[in-house]
């Protein structure tokens, strides 16, 4: 970090990027530069070029790092407050800065009212990612301050002739659909009002000038580390600037900051890359591994999950039959999904009663866990700690523990309600039973689900009920953190009805994400493509299930299903008791092939390769090893997919196919493409392992 006191300008520098901010005359912190590396002198020159306001109708010149209400500001504010006397605007006074190692803190306070704000900037060593967050404090001598909005950060990109945004949208069974669209001259809001990250939008956004491609062009992207409701507002003004602000909570919430209290936002991380969307993804993956995940070096085990095989019809004998077959396939972690507890015979009852069902598991979970271990596998369980069925002993005992509002219905979704874990008693209860369960059975893995959004999110009797939107998510984080600390061997999969809770916040305390309940391999290619924009392969849970697929009724060959699921942390979720001997044999071979390739897939660097529309592929590189997974969902008559040009090989090196022994000069892999042995017909796929020889 460099500081120019004369110009009151700070410059942060990463390996290939720099970021500069300065103090304006009114002591607000203004954006100067985010992009290619600049010297301090160059950044100062950029700052001096700031254009004056265009007319008496326009805002103050320059872009705020955390825009407030007050003065001539008309764009989307990042921080909105109301003081006890009704004043809403903020006027800043600079209160110093400090920096240690990777972090810069710029301190501000209001000129009159007891409000202190710190803008935090951190560039973790070796990355170009800038982590930004805000703390707001009400020092111990004033009245309460009402916070109407408190974002983590606002971002600005340099002036360009055009702007395009890339974002992820979708729904249940269709998460992570990548959309690229011109940024309208308007305010565009990406948000979740659901209390979870959501299937419908993911808190990731990339902006370019409309010309970036997979391997070329400047891309500015940001990702919010938060697993509850959130909002990102992108603003393209009529004069050619694009900025965005984002943070936790959605519009309309407020909370009261009591004297002595501090509010800290989650991290909103930003990344500038000059090598296209592929290089942006690779840099994000490096950041997630290096600075977010708890166990990035660990190779994710091949898991089996019982959900699609049994639904709620879970019992000891059935699970043991599946476990025996799973172990024979080479599965390393056996996970019993929903249905093992309480009166959970359907989605109508039992959620909240976390004791093994006495009919289905007469001797508890002990015999199943022991047999799974004898078979050489680890043992995992599905849980949904934030939810309750009204038809449960828990709800009968504590009807006041759920989110609810006086004089309003309690809207049920999937016959369940949401527990208010912002309540210390409910959170303590959730931690206690989880801790007991993990301890009693030495559970290796929890699939932590959340199968509905918030509705009627009230807290009758509480003076500041909107706090629960943040308090609930923080309680989830605290419970997970405490469980992990007390059970160092425990691994957690994040899930919310599939991919409804994937974000950098949850990834800081989980090991993988269940990306979608949709296990159709053709649909999955698109879901996985979107997921890979931000999140690395090692956290992407992907199962092979039965054909026809239960969601889409599409029939696909086992090999194709495996090759698609191998692009992440491979799992199997089919009804193995119905698989033929031939299918089981082929599946065992494919699991073995995955184990040969997974170091490269899980720990390597991915290059997304696009063919001619019929062929899609990903090339993973790890040291001298390369793995290519190629998928061709359908082909028209007489049409051969165009050659698959590899992206991560060197022209002057030679590569050997590890399975066939054939050698390929790198120059040909780059320019003529990789020969693929694709079977005829639809749903063709290939797994190719190459080793660099020289
Ligand atoms: C959610 C999950 C599924 C399964 C069911 C169980 O939908 O995404 O994988 O665990 O809940 O009810």
- Band (pLDDT 50/70/90 cuts) for residue 183 is very high
Instruction: Find the mean pLDDT for residues 260-278.
Output: 98
How many angstroms separate the alpha carbon of residue 497 from the centre of ligand 1?
5
| Average pLDDT value over all residues in the chain | 96
Instruction: Find the mean pLDDT for residues 653-676.
Output: 96
Query: Is the per-residue pLDDT at 336 higher than 90?
Result: yes
CB of 538 closer than 6 A to ligand 1?
A: no
Residue nearest to atom 7 of ligand 1 (CA): 497
Q: What is the pLDDT of residues 217-236, one digit of tens each?
A: 999 999 999 999 999 999 99
Instruction: Find the mean pLDDT for residues 294-323.
Output: 98
Active site residues: 449, 517
Q: What is the pLDDT of residues 460-488, one digit of tens each?
A: 999 999 999 999 999 999 999 999 999 99
CB of 514 closer than 6 A to ligand 1?
A: yes
* % the chain with pLDDT above 90: 94
Query: Is the per-residue pLDDT at 611 higher than 70?
Result: no
Beta bridge partners of 368: none
Q: Rounded CA gap, 193 and 358, in Å?
A: 38
CB of 497 closer than 6 A to ligand 1?
A: yes
Instruction: Find the mean pLDDT for residues 360-369.
Output: 98
Helix, coil or strand: residue 680: coil
Q: What is the pLDDT of residues 408-465, one digit of tens each?
A: 999 999 999 999 999 999 999 999 999 999 999 999 999 999 999 999 999 999 999 9
The DSSP-derived string for 539-584 is GEEEEE--SS-TTT-----HHHHHHHHTTSEEEE-S-GGGS-HHHH
How many angstroms separate the alpha carbon of residue 457 from the centre of ligand 1?
23
Looking at per-residue pLDDT, the higher value among 165 and 55 belongs to 165
Closest ligand 1 atom number to CA of residue 495: 8
Helix, coil or strand: residue 191: strand
Q: List Cβ neighbours of 160 (8 Å cut-off, separation of 6 or more).
A: 209, 240, 242
CB of 448 closer than 6 A to ligand 1?
A: no
CB of 341 closer than 6 A to ligand 1?
A: no
Instruction: Return the pLDDT at 101.
Output: 82
Closest ligand 1 atom number to CA of residue 498: 8
Q: What is the pLDDT of residues 75-99, one digit of tens each?
A: 999 999 999 999 999 999 999 999 9
Q: What is the pLDDT of residues 503-556, one digit of tens each?
A: 999 999 999 999 999 999 999 999 999 999 999 999 999 999 999 999 999 999
- Of 52-66, 134-148, 184-198, 317-331, the poorest mean pLDDT is in 52-66
Angle at 608 between CA 605 and CA 614, to 5 degrees: 150
Q: Looking at residue 292, what DSSP letter applies?
A: I
User: Tokens 């974000």, residue?
Assistant: 503
Instruction: Return the pLDDT at 292.
Output: 98
- Band (pLDDT 50/70/90 cuts) for residue 55 is confident
Instruction: Look at the pTM and tell me if it is higher than 0.95.
Output: yes
Phi, then psi, of 211 in degrees rounded to 5: -115, -5
Closest ligand 1 atom number to CA of residue 447: 10
CB of 340 closer than 6 A to ligand 1?
A: no
Instruction: Return the pLDDT at 49.
Output: 83
* Choice from 451, 516, 542 to test ligand 1 binding pocket (greatest atom count within 8 A of CB): 451
Instruction: Return the pLDDT at 612.
Output: 64
């Amino acid at each position: 970090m460099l500081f120019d006191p004369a110009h009151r300008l700070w410059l942060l520098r990463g390996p290939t990027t720099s970021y500069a901010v300065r103090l304006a005359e009114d002591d607000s912190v203004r954006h100067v530069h985010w992009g290619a590396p600049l010297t301090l002198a160059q950044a100062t020159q950029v700052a001096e070029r700031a254009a004056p306001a265009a007319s008496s109708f326009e805002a103050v010149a320059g872009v705020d790092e955390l825009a407030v209400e007050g003065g001539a500001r008309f764009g989307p504010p990042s921080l909105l407050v109301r003081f006890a006397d009704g004043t809403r605007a903020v006027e800043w006074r600079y209160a110093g800065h400090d920096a240690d190692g990777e972090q810069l803190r710029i301190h501000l306070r209001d000129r009159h009212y007891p409000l202190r704000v710190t803008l935090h900037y951190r560039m973790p060593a070796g990355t170009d990612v800038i982590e930004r967050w805000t703390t707001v404090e009400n020092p111990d001598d004033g009245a309460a301050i009402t916070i109407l909005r408190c974002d983590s950060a606002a971002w600005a990109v340099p002036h360009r002739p055009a702007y395009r945004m890339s974002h992820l949208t979708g729904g249940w069974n269709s998460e992570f659909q990548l959309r690229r669209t011109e940024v309208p001259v308007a305010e565009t809001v990406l948000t979740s009002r659901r209390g979870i990250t959501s299937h419908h939008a993911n808190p990731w956004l990339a902006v370019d000038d409309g010309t970036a491609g997979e391997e070329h062009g400047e891309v500015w992207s940001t990702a919010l580390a938060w697993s509850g409701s959130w909002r990102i507002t992108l603003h393209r003004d009529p004069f050619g600037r694009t900025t965005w602000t984002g943070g936790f909570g959605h519009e309309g919430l407020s909370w009261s900051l009591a004297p002595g209290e501090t509010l800290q936002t989650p991290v909103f991380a930003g990344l500038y890359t000059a090598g296209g969307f592929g290089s942006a993804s690779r840099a994000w993956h490096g950041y997630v591994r290096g600075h977010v995940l708890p166990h990035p070096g660990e190779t994710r085990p091949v898991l089996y999950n019982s959900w699609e095989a049994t639904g709620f019809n879970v019992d000891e004998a059935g699970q043991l039959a599946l476990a025996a077959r799973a172990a024979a396939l080479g599965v390393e972690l056996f996970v019993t999904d929903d249905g093992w507890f309480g009166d959970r015979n359907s989605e109508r009852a039992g959620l909240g009663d976390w004791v093994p069902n006495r009919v289905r598991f007469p001797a508890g979970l002990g015999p199943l866990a022991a047999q799974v271990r004898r078979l050489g596998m680890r043992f995992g369980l599905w849980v949904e700690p934030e939810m309750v069925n009204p038809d449960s002993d828990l709800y009968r005992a504590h009807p006041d523990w759920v989110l609810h509002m006086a004089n309003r219905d309690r809207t049920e979704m999937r016959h369940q309600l949401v527990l208010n874990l912002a309540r210390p008693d409910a959170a303590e209860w959730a931690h206690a039973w989880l801790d007991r369960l993990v301890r009693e059975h030495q559970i290796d893995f929890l699939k932590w689900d959340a199968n509905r959004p918030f509705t009627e999110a009230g807290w009758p009797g509480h003076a500041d009920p909107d706090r629960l939107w943040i308090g609930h998510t923080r309680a989830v984080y605290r419970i997970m953190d405490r469980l992990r600390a007390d059970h160092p061997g425990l691994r957690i999969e994040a899930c919310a009805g599939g991919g409804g809770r994937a974000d950098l916040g949850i990834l800081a305390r989980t090991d993988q994400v269940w990306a979608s309940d949709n296990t159709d391999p053709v649909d999955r290619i698109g879901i996985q493509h979107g997921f890979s924009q931000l999140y690395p392969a090692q956290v992407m849970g992907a199962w092979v299930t039965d054909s026809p697929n239960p969601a889409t009724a599409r029939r696909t060959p086992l090999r194709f299903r495996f090759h698609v699921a191998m692009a992440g942390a491979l799992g199997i979720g089919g009804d193995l008791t119905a698989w033929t001997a031939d299918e089981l044999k082929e599946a065992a071979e494919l699991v073995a092939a995955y184990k040969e390739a997974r170091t490269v897939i899980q720990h390597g660097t991915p290059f997304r390769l696009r063919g001619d529309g019929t062929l899609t592929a990903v090339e993973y590189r790890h040291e001298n090893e390369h793995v290519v997974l190629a998928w061709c969902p359908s082909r028209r008559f007489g049409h051969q997919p165009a050659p698959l040009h590899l992206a991560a090989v060197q022209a002057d090196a030679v590569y050997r196919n590890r399975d066939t022994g054939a050698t390929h000069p790198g120059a040909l892999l780059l320019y003529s493409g990789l020969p693929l042995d694709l079977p005829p017909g639809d749903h063709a796929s290939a797994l190719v392992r190459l080793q660099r020889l020289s």
